[in-house]
């Protein structure tokens, strides 16, 4: 007899930010997704992602449960916070998780290259794979994939768009100058 899969309740809230609306999603284990854009705009992608990683799921709006994350993001955008606290529930391959953990070691206001991250995780030849993992980061801004630049110093793609990446890098640079 096949066992019934338990439905995972994912809570979410949508917040305004200087880079546009952000949707925050948490599982019972912690923050699992930050999306650029509105809840409605990202519905199909979110449902595909949640189905892949959680199987049976239900989305439930709960601003209170995500209030700490929302407040930390507000502080970050006001240049009052340089790092984030709280539990995360990273959903990805083991390689992706290694990349995402390495991204969190890039200091506020600094940048690194894909090559630097590949070397940091002990896979120096996996530069392209690091780029792919960076692109799949489910928790942008908090896991600072915006701090990744090309080896030649050029800005490279960003899930939230290059103007958003420039805004985040500029925000962090100006904080260090004041």
Half-sphere exposure in the Cβ direction for 144 (13 Å, CA):
27
The residue from 90, 102, 141, 145 that is catalytic is: 145
- What's the CA gap between 172 and 159, in Å, rounded? 18
Find the distance separating the first CA and the last CA of the chain, reported in whole Å. Answer: 64
Active site residue 145: yes
Task: Give bridge partners of residue 14 from the DSSP assignment.
Answer: 23
Phi, psi (5° rounding) for residue 109?
A: 80, 0
- What's the CA gap between 94 and 9, in Å, rounded? 24
15 CB burial (10 A radius; 0-12, 13-18, 19+) = middle
Positions marked catalytic:
145
């Amino acid at each position: 007899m096949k066992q019934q899969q338990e439905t995972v309740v994912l809570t979410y809230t949508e917040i305004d930010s200087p880079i546009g609306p952000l949707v925050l999603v948490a599982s019972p284990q912690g923050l699992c997704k930050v999306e650029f854009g509105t809840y409605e705009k990202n519905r199909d992608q979110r449902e595909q992602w949640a189905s892949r990683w959680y199987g049976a799921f239900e989305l439930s709006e709960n601003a209170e449960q995500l209030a700490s994350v929302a407040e930390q993001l507000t502080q970050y955008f006001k240049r009052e916070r340089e790092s984030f606290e709280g539990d995360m529930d990273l959903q990805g391959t083991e390689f992706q998780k290694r990349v995402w953990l390495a991204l969190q070691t890039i200091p506020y206001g600094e940048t690194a290259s894909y090559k630097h991250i590949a070397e940091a995780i002990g896979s120096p030849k996996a530069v392209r794979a690091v780029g792919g993992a960076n692109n799949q980061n489910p928790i942008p801004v908090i896991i600072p994939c915006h701090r990744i630049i090309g080896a030649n110093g050029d800005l490279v793609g960003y899930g939230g768009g290059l103007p958003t990446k420039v805004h985040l890098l500029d925000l962090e640079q100006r904080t260090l100058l004041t």
